[in-house]
Structure formats: C-alpha cells, structure tokens
Amino acid sequence: MSSARTEDATGGFLSRQALLGVFLPALCFETGIGAVTPMVAIRAVQLGTSLGVAGLLAAMLAVGQILGDAPAGALAARVGDRRALLIAAVATSVTLVGCALAGGPLLFGLAVLLTGATNSVYMLARQAYLTEITPPLYRARALSTLGGVGRIGMFVGPFLGAGVVHLFGTVGVFWFGLAVTVVAGVVVAVVPDVEGAGVAAVRGGAPVSLRRVLVEHRAVFVQLGIAVLLVGATRAARQVVIPLWGEHLGLAPATTSLVYGLSGLVDTVVFYPAGKLMDRRGRLAVAVPSMVALGATLMLLPLASSAAWLAVIAMAMGLANGIGAGMIMTLGADVAPPGVRPQFLGVWRLFSDAGGAAGPLAVAAGAGLGSLAGGAVVMGVMGIVAAGVLRATVPRWSVHANARTRVAAGLRPDGHPVVVERR
C-alpha cells in the first residue's frame, strides 16, 4: 500500500510522525505520572506529615491540574500546541526535580501542585494538536487512542515505579519520572510536524481572551459542561470506591491491589474499538452505554461480598469506563471552534477535571457519614443521569452525535460526505 493510500485509510493519525510525535511522548509522560502518583502520599509521610496531611498533598496533583486547565489553553493559543508540549516537558522536569529534592512538606506540596499544573498543559496541548492533524472522520479513533495510551501509561507506571522504589527508595521514583519526561520532550523536539499541522504550530493574530471565549460560548459550556462534569465525577469515583470496598471487606492490601489492577487492565484494552464505533455510529453510540454501564456497576458494588465478586464488578467497571476512552476529548474537539480551540478546550478540561475531583470527595463523604455503600449508589445514579444529559444535549452541538444529526448536516450516516455523481 502506498503512503497516500495509508494516509487515506488512517486519517493521518497513525502516520509515523503522529505515532512518534504524539503517542510515544504521551505514553512516556503518563508512565512517569503513573509512577509518581502513588508515591506522593508515602513521600509526604517520610517528610514528617500526618496521614491526613499526606492525603492532602497527594490531592495537590489533581488541584494543580484544575488550576492549570484554563491557563494551559491560553498558553497553547499564544505559542502553538507543539511549543506548549515542549514547555510542559521542561516545566515538569523542573517540578519533578523539586519533588525529589524537597526537604520539607511545604516545598514538596508546592512541587506536587506545579507538577499537576504542568501535566494539564501537556494534556491540553496534545489534545489540541491531535485534533488539528486528524480529519473529523477519524477524530474519535485518534482521541480514543490518545486516551488509551494514557491509560496504558497510568497502568504500567505504578508497576515500574514499584521496581524503582525497591531498588532506589521512594525518592528514586521522582528521578524515574524525570527521565521519562525528558525522553518525551526530546521526542517531541526531534520529530517533525505532521503535514497539515501548520495551524497548530503557529496561529496568526492576537490570541482571544478566555473571558471572551467563556462569554461567546456560554451556552455550550452550561449545557454540555454539566454532562462533562457528571462524567468526570462518575469516572473518578470508581478509582477510589474499589480500594475502599476492598478495605470494607477486610481484604489484604495485595488482594485489593490485584483487583484494582484487573479493572485497570480491562480498561486499557478496548479503547480502539470504542473510537471506531464512535466514528462510524456517532458519539452517543458509545457515550450513553458507557455511562449507563458504569453507573449500574457502581450501584451493584454494595452486593460484592467477597474478593471474587468484587473482582467481577471491578472488571465490569473497567470495561464500562474503557469503552468511553476518549469520549470527552472527542466531544470537546467536535464542539470547539477552530479559531479558539486551545482556549475552549482549556475550559472544557476544567469541567472534566473538576468532576474528577468531586467524585472521590462524594464517595469519601458517604464513607465519612457511615455509608460507603450509599456513596457508591449515589455515584451510580449520577452516572445514569450523566447518560441522560449527554443524550439530551450532545445532538444540539455536535454534528457527529449520531446518524440523525449527520444526515441533518448533509452527511452520510457514517459521517462521510455525500458524493453526487456527475452525469
């Protein structure tokens, strides 16, 4: 097959430049973050904090990511997506050095917070860049692959980090994160732009302010933003409810870790079929089933009375979450105006990340009130509600919501343009 035929078949997102310049750095970057994340609380305790303060410092990664979302969009709009990727790699390298060298909890917490913020810049820039270089017909596959690569990195990272900690101690994992981040930055620097990515590299004119983007697109943020918030909260809830329920059952930590790992493994293997289905059948063909299934499995969790049943439900959660890989990124790319895409996606990610922070807090509140099962059920109901909100609001804004909206926009049901034969 010629290179031109390959480009047509894949939409360009599986070209050599995209694989090396987008997906490989994403894998490296997320592997480093995945290795560092479990060690933040442990390192905080080693620096003399209480368990409560250690948990607070661990949350600084998510807080930093939320704080960095909107500025990340403004930065990418000003300097270009690829330059923003490089800036994020350099900044993350500095913050990870800070994490490794910090001699007290205050400096350590600040370094962790800034690491979360730089992670936000990197995620925003690679999403915007991949959106620019990928035709809409292959957008879901491209962004689902990006989401899947991130999941693989977050799954593999803790295992590699455990080996590093065993050999070099807790501080060693931050040096490991630095090493893979440097690799990611070098790859981005040396791999040339994908053809057609000129808009992503340099955007002409003065960047539009975030305030103007918020005002001009407030309707989509109010409607779809609620759905994104609910989706983020439901997804994040599963990450804490599984280990907490394992603790509730009195399982050994190793058993709970294995159950969580099985859920993560299932989560990482279904991203590409999900993206392909979104491209062919529309976004709602994946978004609604994913959230209904995730909500249902959360509501079923209180029925798990043994390690075996917890594993079954956890793997079902992983499947439900995995088929939605890239869903929120794809919807964001669908509705983001090309001229202000980075700024728009920065606000879009703010909704998702805020939901991601709210979900675990809701579960923790339920547990604190004496009803972990109640917290899980509430989050399950939230997942069902998210599916309903997506079904009601997505067709208003996305041409690729489903076959009906595509036909109304003058496309074929599969999203391809209608070809008129000339006689």
What is the biggest distance separating any 2 CA atoms in the chain, rounded to whole angstroms? 80
Q: What is the per-residue pLDDT for 285? A: 95
The yes-or-no answer to whether 7-207 and 208-416 have a common fold is: yes
Output the pLDDT for position 339. 84
- In CATH, what number does 208-416 get? 1.20.1250.20
pLDDT of residue 40: 87
Residue pLDDT, tens place only, 179-208: 999 999 999 888 876 655 444 444 445 567
pLDDT tens column, 411-421: 888 888 876 55
- % of the chain residues with pLDDT over 90: 46
Whether the per-residue pLDDT at 255 is higher than 70: the answer is yes
pTM: 0.86
Question: For residue 14, what pLDDT band results from cuts at 50, 70 and 90?
Answer: low
Q: Look at residue 206 in the predicted model and tell me its pLDDT.
A: 58
Quote the CA–CA distance of 206 and 200 in Å, as a whole number. Answer: 15
Q: Mark 265-294 as b/e (b = at least 16 C-beta within 10 Å).
A: ebbbebbeebbebbbbbbbbbbbbbbbbbb
pLDDT tens-digit readout, 351-409: 999 998 888 888 877 777 778 888 899 999 999 999 999 999 999 999 999 999 999 98
The residue with greater pLDDT, 28 or 256, is 28
For residue 13, pLDDT beyond 70: no
pLDDT at residue 1, as a whole number: 33
Give the total residue count for the chain. 423
pLDDT at 334 over 90: yes
Query: Is residue 10 scored above 60 in pLDDT?
Result: no
Judge whether residue 253 has pLDDT over 80. Answer: no
| CATH class name, domain 7-207 | mainly alpha
Top-confidence residue, 304 or 211: 304
pLDDT score for 7: 42
Reported as a single tens digit per residue, the pLDDT across 41-68 is 888 888 988 877 887 788 888 889 999 9
Task: Locate the domains of the chain by residue range.
Answer: 7-207, 208-416
In the block, residue with structure tokens 């074929």: 412
Q: Higher-confidence residue: 47 or 21? A: 47
Q: What is the mean pLDDT of residues 315-327?
A: 93
The whole-chain average pLDDT of the chain stands at 86
Give residue 205's pLDDT. 52
Predicted confidence (pLDDT) at residue 76 exceeds the cutoff of 50: yes
Q: Residue 311's pLDDT is what?
A: 94
Given this model, what pLDDT does residue 38 score? 81
